[in-house]
Amino acid sequence: MPKNELIGGSLWEAYSKKVAARMDNPVNRGELTEADARKLGGRLVVADHGAESCGDAVRLYWVVDDKTSVIKAARFKSFGCGTAIASSDMMADLCVGRTVAEAAKITNIDVERSLRDEPGTPAVPPQKMHCSVMAYDVIKKAVALYQGVDLSSLETETIVCECGRVSLGTIVDAIRLNDLKTVADITHYTKAGGFCKSCIAPGGHEKRQHYLVDILRDTRAAMEKENLHKRMETEDFASMTMVRKLKAVEKVFTEQLRPMLAADGGDVELVDLKEAGGAWEVYIQYRGACMGCPSAGTNTLSAIEAVLRQRLGETIKVVAS
Amino acid sequence: MERIYLDNNATTIVDPMVKQAMEPYWCDKYGNPNSLHSFGTEVHPDLRVAMNRLYQGLGAAEDDDILITSCATESNNAVLKGVYFDLIKNGEKNHIVTTTVEHPCVANTCRFLEQQGVKVTYLPVNQDARVEAEAVRRAITEKTALVSVMWANNETGVVFPVREIAQACRERGVLFHTDAVQAVGKVRVDLRAVPADFLSISAHKFHGPKGVGALFVRRGLKLPPLLHGGEQMSGKRAGTLNVAGIVGMGLAMELANDSLEFEDREVRRLRDKLEDGLARLADVMVVGRRELRVPNTLFISVRGVEGEALLWDLNKYGIAASTGSACASESLEANPIITAIGAGAELSHTGIRLSLSRFTTEAEIDAAIRTFTQAVGRLRAISASY
């Protein structure tokens, strides 16, 4: 909708009716107390996430049946914008009647989908998707508290885009498999970065551990390195550029020739590389025990040439200087 | 539902007299002032009247330039980019001094110029939410080409000491620009008292029409045009003259200046009434001392209530206000002004701006106090942090 984007959308017009209704009247607002828990015959769980000084804070109250682990009641309190309040309210709805283990699987995406008026129309504009993440985070806290486990044990993967719940692995795979070159490509393929945009680059809505720009750069660099490696292995020596020829020869020196000579206390170094009538002359200089060794001009020289020819082609000729 | 408009720092109602004055130029006197025939020439007297009103209103001299632009954003761009092309690109100077609280049209233009190699110093506000002249003086170097500091801040309404800053710049031979968008019609903007070199205004902030603004350029200063084209405005700003807009802005300026005494007395009284009414709520904080602010603006932080949520509730009852809260903006970082004045972090994500005008009534203010108080009550009952 580029035409509409030119005059800018109205943030509030993009909220679903369900979001607006729950902003106006969040049915699950309020607290649950120990007395409520006793009355319902369950255990009280109170989880906090965020802080007012960070701009977002939510507190979730559960009464959980200790025998069945079913959440019998849920309430919330929220310091946040209207969409944060509406998301928290829907989140509380989704918790009730589920076991704690089931609730642990509720994500911000479930919350957002439940707030839609129509299945195909998002309940909130992309930049507000982030508000529903709080709802997800606080459920995780409550689960950890109830189960008495560490919060980190509930996280099985590294999430880069919290709004769309896109993991680091998914993003790296998408870049590699589809040869993605821009952040816009990543967003197109994975939806990561398409919501509050915090995860695209530093300086966005909130600070993140991973940013798409870094993931893209690092993955592309790794791919480039692998490709180069592959090319060096498979490319015909004659069609290489001069720099790559040198690198290829040096690679054989470090990987094979020098270790081979080092076994006898000798060493060799690459001095020059010249074209001579269709052949490639590799000039070498002996070092260590090889200097003055009688076979240096004969058997050793042939062995070096054989290795280079095997690795780089028959056009190689070795000259000892 | 009767709506109450308390967002006059965003835009204002067009004064009905201004609207009426603009009426002839749509279907009757629609000629292009650059045309030689009578359709073109017949609007010249009206344009002269409007220009006289602008010159008089700002205290400009005959040989100063007041260039008509499309908005203050254009005026501010023209100054910053013009100084870049004239003084910085040729290597003479390389430095601009501004503040961290300028409007995006100054802040983002400075960011753009930084990409071109310009060094920019962004001065923070102090505990009074002000930038003092001394801080500007210290920031100026041999390489400084321009200082750009707003006359009054759009969020807090705090008036900056532009007179002292202008004098400090003059002493050091540095050009001074001020974005006076939030000052015109609220406090006296007189270029005889404030020796600024450039000054930007926008008509729709003082009950004129949208789409027209002006840029004052002190006599003798050359500023390469932002818009090249025809010979309008002596070639200093090309583009067919916005006749209705100029006429409207001229009258709006005159009416605004005529209303300054009313603004200072009545608008201030209502603003103070609103402020006192809201201050009765516990745990609220108003930014900026009253005597340092323009008479119409109030920026209030309400502990435990997020800005956009409060705005939603106010809007539901017909009250238009504005928020600087992070939730409604791109960044979740704390509001830099609230942080700078030394308030606690828990106040930095709240904050509502209420801005009045000479059209605001006492009944509206009474209703606003009631509605605001109710909304805070509801949201604090939901709040996880209050």
Does the pLDDT at position B249 exceed 70? yes
Chain-chain contact of A55 with B349 (C-beta, under 8 angstroms): yes
**Among A53, A80, A205, beta carbon nearest to B346:** A53
Interface residue of B302, B306, B317 to substitute, partner A, most A CBs within 10 Å: B306
Looking at per-residue confidence, does B32 or A310 come out higher?
B32
| Listed ranges A306-315, B83-92, B153-162, B303-312; the one with the highest mean pLDDT | B153-162
Residue B277 covered by a domain: yes
Contact residues, chain B, for A58 at CB < 8 Å? 384
Q: What is the CATH number of domain A237-320?
A: 3.30.300.130
Interface residue of A59, A79, A128, A132 to substitute, partner B, most B CBs within 10 Å: A79
Q: Per-residue pLDDT averaged across A190-206, rounded?
A: 83
Give the per-residue pLDDT at A191: 86
Q: E strands within chain A?
A: 43-51, 56-64, 71-79, 159-161, 166-167, 266-276, 279-288, 316-320
- Judge whether A26 is closer than 8 Å to chain B, CB to CB: yes
Q: Tens digit of pLDDT for each residue in B107-137?
A: 999 999 999 999 999 999 998 999 999 999 9
Please indicate, yes or no, whether residues B336 and B280 belong to a single structural domain of this protein: yes
Q: Per-residue pLDDT averaged across B24-42, rounded?
A: 97
A163 SS3 class: coil
Q: Which of B71, B105, B110, B327 does the annotation list as catalytic?
A: B327
Region(s) of chain A under CATH 3.30.300.130: 237-320
Q: What is the CATH number of the domain that holds B61?
A: 3.40.640.10
Residue B1 covered by a domain: no
A281: left (phi over 0), alpha (psi -120 to 50) or beta: beta
Q: Per-residue pLDDT averaged across A26-39, rounded?
A: 95
Instruction: Answer yes or no: are the C-beta atoms of B118 and B144 closer than 8 Å.
Output: no
Give the per-residue pLDDT at A209: 86
Q: Tens digit of pLDDT for each residue in B64-104?
A: 999 999 999 999 999 999 999 988 888 889 999 999 999 99
Does the pLDDT at position B259 exceed 90? yes
Which of B243, B258, B273 represents a domain boundary (last residue)?
B258
Residue B3 covered by a domain: no
Residue B7 covered by a domain: no
Please indicate, yes or no, whether residues B132 and B240 belong to a single structural domain of this protein: yes
Q: Per-residue pLDDT averaged across B305-331, rounded?
A: 82
Centre a 10 Å sphere on the Cβ of residue A110 and count the other Cβ atoms it contains: 16
A199 counts as catalytic: no
Residue B317 covered by a domain: yes
Record the tokens describing residue A124, joined without a space. Answer: 């909130």
Please indicate, yes or no, whether residues B98 and B187 belong to a single structural domain of this protein: yes
Please indicate, yes or no, whether residues B280 and B242 belong to a single structural domain of this protein: no
Please indicate, yes or no, whether residues B239 and B291 belong to a single structural domain of this protein: no
Which of B258, B274, B304 represents a domain boundary (last residue)?
B258
Chain-chain contact of A52 with B349 (C-beta, under 8 angstroms): yes
Record the tokens describing residue B316, joined without a space. Answer: 């539901």
How much is the mean pLDDT over chain A? Answer: 88
Please indicate, yes or no, whether residues B187 and B317 belong to a single structural domain of this protein: no
Does the pLDDT at position B330 exceed 70? no
Give the per-residue pLDDT at A129: 83
Q: Which of A131, A161, A199, A290 does the annotation list as catalytic?
A: A131
Query: What's the pTM value of the predicted model, to 2 decimals?
Result: 0.80
Please indicate, yes or no, whether residues B216 and B280 belong to a single structural domain of this protein: no
| Listed ranges A135-149, A184-198, B168-182; the one with the highest mean pLDDT | B168-182
Q: Which residue of B has its CA nearest to A129?
A: B327
User: In terms of CATH architecture, what is A2-148?
Assistant: Alpha-Beta Complex (3.90)
Does the pLDDT at position A1 exceed 60? no
Measure in Å the smallest separation between the Cα of B324 and chain A Cα atoms. 12
**Among B305, B332, B384, beta carbon nearest to A55:** B332
Residues whose CB falls within 8 Å of the CB of residue A13, separated by 6 or more in sequence, listed in order = none
Report how many domains make up chain B: 2
Please indicate, yes or no, whether residues B121 and B47 belong to a single structural domain of this protein: yes
Which of B228, B258, B288 represents a domain boundary (last residue)?
B258
Contact residues, chain A, for B315 at CB < 8 Å? 12
Does the pLDDT at position A28 exceed 60? yes
Does the pLDDT at position B332 exceed 70? no
Residue B336 covered by a domain: yes
Residues whose CB falls within 8 Å of the CB of residue B64, separated by 6 or more in sequence, listed in order = B55, B191, B216, B217, B218, B219
Instruction: Answer yes or no: are the C-beta atoms of A111 and A89 closer than 8 Å.
Output: no
Please indicate, yes or no, whether residues B277 and B316 belong to a single structural domain of this protein: yes
* B71, amino acid identity: C
Instruction: Answer yes or no: are the C-beta atoms of A193 and A186 closer than 8 Å.
Output: yes
Residue B148 covered by a domain: yes
The residues pairing with B146 across neighbouring beta strands, listed in sequence order, are B96, B175
Q: Per-residue pLDDT averaged across B323-340, rounded?
A: 63
Residue B11 covered by a domain: no
Record the tokens describing residue A255, joined without a space. Answer: 């990987």
User: Which of A25-29, A295-299, B5-9, B224-228 shows the lowest per-residue confidence on average (mean pLDDT)?
Assistant: A295-299
Looking at chain B, the whole-number percentage of residues with pLDDT higher than 90 is 87
Q: Tens digit of pLDDT for each residue in B169-206?
A: 999 999 999 999 999 999 999 999 999 999 999 999 99
Q: Tens digit of pLDDT for each residue in A52-61?
A: 777 778 999 9
Give the per-residue pLDDT at B87: 83
- Judge whether A31 is closer than 8 Å to chain B, CB to CB: no
Q: Tens digit of pLDDT for each residue in B337-381?
A: 777 777 776 677 788 999 999 999 999 999 999 999 999 999 999
Residue with tokens 């720092």: B9
Please give the Cα distance from B348 to A56 (Å, whole number). 11
Please indicate, yes or no, whether residues B240 and B378 belong to a single structural domain of this protein: no
Give the per-residue pLDDT at A204: 74
* C-alpha radius of gyration, chain B, whole number: 22
For B375, the domain range is 260-382
Q: What is the CATH number of the domain that holds B285?
A: 3.90.1150.10
Looking at chain A, the whole-number percentage of residues with pLDDT higher than 90 is 40
